[in-house]
Amino acid sequence: DTGVSQNPRHKITKRGQNVTFRCDPISEHNRLYWYRQTLGQGPEFLTYFQNEAQLEKSRLLSDRFSAERPKGSFSTLEIQRTEQGDSAMYLCASSLMAGGAGELFFGEGSRLTVL
């Protein structure tokens, strides 16, 4: 296993279009996280899955955002009716441990540009 994989790496879209990002976590990790990162800032938490259950959603995740993790394996993050303010790097991470000193393993991110 080569780590967390995210696709696509870059996405340019026009305002109002829908986009979907995919994350394949490390296979034995049952915890998966989505973060958003804008230039010059640290990651902002969006949502968290334990297996297929979405246990937490940030208020940053508006109704236009939806995330799924069917069968507790890969996850998708869909943004509907994109806005220019959605332009950011979307990071996926997975972990074996919940909380504590547990390490997050990140993918390389999916960069979204909304024109």
Backbone angles phi, psi at 98, to 5 degrees: -100, 125
Determine if 40 is a binding residue for another protein (CB under 8 A): yes
Determine if 98 is a binding residue for another protein (CB under 8 A): yes
Task: Among 23, 107, 110, 114, indicate the residue that binds another protein (CB under 8 A).
Answer: 107
Determine if 34 is a binding residue for another protein (CB under 8 A): no
Site string for another protein, 53-92 (x = CB under 8 A): --xx----------------------------------x-
Q: Which residues contact 13 (CB under 8 A, 6 or more apart)?
A: 19, 82, 112, 113, 114, 115
Residue 110 to residues 6, 8, 11, 55, 84: CA-CA distances in angstroms?
Answer: 6, 6, 7, 23, 16
111 vs 59: CA distance, rounded Å:
21
The residues of the shown chain that bind another protein, judged by CB under 8 A, are 3-4, 31, 33, 40-45, 48, 50, 55-56, 91, 93, 98-101, 103-104, 106-109
